[in-house]
Structure 1
Amino acid sequence: MPSVDEYVPAIIDVVATAAIFAVAFVVLYWVGKALLLSLTERSLESRGFNEGVISLARSIVTVLILLGSVAIAATVAGFGTVLVALSALGGAVVLAVGFAAQDLIANFVAGIFIVKDEPFTIGDIIEWDDNQGVVRDIQLRVTQLESHDNELVTVPNSELADSVVVNPSRNDLLRVSYDFGIGYDDDIEQARAALIEEAEQVPGALTEPEPSVAVTDLGDSAVVLTGRFWIDPAEYRPAAARTAYIEAGKKRLDAEGIDMPYPHSQLTGSVSVAERTETKMA
């Protein structure tokens, strides 16, 4: 029966190999991140790339450093022959993982196209599928946004790539508009003057192009006046400017005695009540 002493050299050899692998991996990973990440960031920044591209490149370089550190550390520790033997199996594993991680790969590819096409960049306000938020980070798999309620929203890149994305922040100027309804008997010019004056007072409203109000519809119960003014989206949020204009416009129209009708139903006609006669049986 073999004694325990016979296994001691093998155990020591395994422990020593594992220790060499661990030390080599830690050193290579730490040095790689310290050098390559810093070099990548400085190189991209010097060429004027935006923060979204730099963030995506940082994620890719980190993954490459991790894989490279594992491969080199395994070779140093003497796992090279094992790696060669497992290379054929690795191909099958990669194929299986590819089928299982279709969504992950789709998000990764979408992230690359988002960075390349630049439909938005960090700091932009975007709208998609009835959602809105400020872009805070573009990562390898997801894009992180901040809602107007200061919530962190994490969206898969494939969802943004497959959706119609509206970017109000891309241009230097943005028009803010809102529809006000007034009564058919009210003075259009009086309402127009009041709404233009209130638009001029909205924080961030520009004087050029100047605010305007136009009749855009004749509704069932109201004449629709659309108030429009322009802001710089880099300085003021469109939602805040629009909210301020709606409140100011409502108060001003009330002060001017201008009616703001709303749809309602009116029942006409008469209702008759039939008398019930009781018949007593003798």
Structure 2
Amino acid sequence: MSVVSHVPLVQAEGPIPTSVSELLNQYGGIVGQVIAFVLGFVVVYLLGRAILVPFVRRVLDRRGFDPTVASLGENVAGVVVALLAIAVAFTVAGFGSVIAAFSVFAGAVALAVGFAMQDLLANFVAGVFILKDRPFEIGDWIEWPDGEGRVEEIDLRVTRVRTFDNEQITVPNGDLANNAVTNPVAYDKLRNKFVFGIGYEDDIDHAKEIILDEASKVEGILDDPGTSVRVTELADSYVGLQTRFWIENPNRSDFVGITSELVQSVKERCDAEGIDMPYPYRQLTGGVDIEGDFETHQPEASADD
């Protein structure tokens, strides 16, 4: 006995096209929309890449932006052109409702991402301004509230600094943009100060002559502007002579090395010519009074002694 199963046939809606003309009549609207979408996207995208992107690049280069920022602006312009091409293509193809729904969804996503990445975006914007304003450049020695070192790399998010202990610090650009940053090598000259202390009984004018003479012998200290020495302190144990001298084309090694050479030469010269460089000391005077009665007890001698 055989069982015959009956499988219902799925009936297609509408008549099945039997020729190309019938196919175009039935699906011509969809084909037209697809063609309109593709044409709209291609035309807008090519025009944007040919006109808008080069225009943005020329404007950024003309305004003196860093090549990194200019490249970033060019990439952003390319993304904007692509999004604009998609929007125009959907509109030309008659899918305006899709654009409206997409805009609402994109706005919600952008708001959520903005809250989650506010620190990252702040550092990113700070990096753009650092690259534009150029408060420091690669190779500069900088100081900020949390440290100092030589700039090795400036990115859009962070700046990498090598300390003078040969450590690398990755500093968020927001920290450098929102705090005072000292750049001692921003100009072609740097003034340094050092206080030499001499004894109260020593000749101040003679000590000044020694300091000026030794400063003129140190290579790296400028003659113009010249070195100056002034009495600035009357401390407990010494008279302070503040010496101001200028270093040409300074960097960290010159700054430390030249200062060290000057201090050492002045100290040796003062020792040779009998000028005292005293150090702070304290002297305690007076006596100690002891109150009360104290008896001296001697051990009693035993009979055996």
TM-score, normalised on structure 1?
0.67
Q: 1:86 to 1:237 in 2, by over 3 A?
A: farther
Q: State the structure with more CA Rg.
A: 2
1:160 corresponding residue in structure 2: 176
Three-state SS of the structure 2 residue aligned to 1:114 is helix
1:29 corresponding residue in structure 2: none
Deviation at 1:140, TM superposition (A): 0.3
Q: Give the letter for the 2:118 counterpart.
A: Q
Three-state SS of the structure 1 residue aligned to 2:213 is helix
Q: Any idea what the Cα deviations from partners look like across 1:2-61, whole Å, max 9, x if unmatched? A: xxxxxxxxxxxxxxxxxxxxxxxxxxxxxxxxxx9xxx7xx95xx6958xx234445666
Query: Unaligned regions of 5+ residues in structure 2, if any?
Result: 1-52, 84-94, 299-305
Residue 278 of structure 2: which of 249, 261, 265 is its match? 261
Deviation at 1:139, TM superposition (A): 1.0
Q: 1:241 to 1:131 in 2, by over 3 A?
A: farther
2:155 corresponding residue in structure 1: 139
Q: 1:86 to 1:242 in 2, by over 3 A?
A: farther
In 1, Cα distance between the equivalents of 2:74 and 2:257?
Answer: 39
Instruction: Confirm or deny: 8 A CA contact 1:135 1:145 kept in the other structure.
Output: yes
Q: Any idea what the Cα deviations from partners look like across 1:201-231, whole Å, max 9, x if unmatched? A: 3331112122222212222221111112111
Three-state SS of the structure 2 residue aligned to 1:192 is helix
Structure 2 residue 230 is matched with structure 1 residue 214: yes
1:14 corresponding residue in structure 2: none
Q: Any idea what the Cα deviations from partners look like across 1:125-164, whole Å, max 9, x if unmatched? A: 2222163222222210111222223322221111111211
Instruction: Confirm or deny: 8 A CA contact 1:59 1:139 kept in the other structure.
Output: no
Residue 199 of structure 1: which of 215, 222, 232 is its match? 215
Q: 1:246 to 1:102 in 2, by over 3 A?
A: farther
1:54 corresponding residue in structure 2: 67
Query: Unaligned regions of 5+ residues in structure 1, if any?
Result: 1-35, 72-80
1:171 corresponding residue in structure 2: 187
Residue 230 of structure 1: which of 237, 246, 266 is its match? 246
Instruction: Confirm or deny: 8 A CA contact 2:190 2:250 kept in the other structure.
Output: no
Instruction: Confirm or deny: 8 A CA contact 2:202 2:276 kept in the other structure.
Output: yes
Q: 1:90 to 1:229 in 2, by over 3 A?
A: same
In 2, Cα distance between the equivalents of 1:238 and 1:107?
Answer: 32
* Fraction of identical pairs, as percent: 46
Q: 1:279 to 1:194 in 2, by over 3 A?
A: closer
1:127 corresponding residue in structure 2: 143
Provide the alpha-carbon RMSD of the alignment. 3.8
In 2, Cα distance between the equivalents of 1:113 and 1:272?
Answer: 72
Instruction: Confirm or deny: 8 A CA contact 1:60 1:140 kept in the other structure.
Output: no
Three-state SS of the structure 2 residue aligned to 1:115 is helix
Three-state SS of the structure 1 residue aligned to 2:295 is coil
2:256 corresponding residue in structure 1: 239
Q: Report which structure shows greater RCO (CA 8 Å, sep ≥6).
A: 1
In 1, Cα distance between the equivalents of 2:221 and 2:259?
Answer: 10
Three-state SS of the structure 1 residue aligned to 2:294 is coil
Q: 1:272 to 1:124 in 2, by over 3 A?
A: same
Instruction: Confirm or deny: 8 A CA contact 2:141 2:185 kept in the other structure.
Output: yes
In 1, Cα distance between the equivalents of 2:243 and 2:260?
Answer: 13
2:88 corresponding residue in structure 1: none
* Count of residues in Structure 1 that have an aligned counterpart in Structure 2: 232
Instruction: Confirm or deny: 8 A CA contact 1:56 1:138 kept in the other structure.
Output: no
Deviation at 1:118, TM superposition (A): 2.3
Q: Any idea what the Cα deviations from partners look like across 1:94-118, whole Å, max 9, x if unmatched? A: 2222112222111112112222322
Structure 2 residue 290 is matched with structure 1 residue 277: no
Instruction: Confirm or deny: 8 A CA contact 1:177 1:227 kept in the other structure.
Output: yes
Structure 2 residue 123 is matched with structure 1 residue 110: no
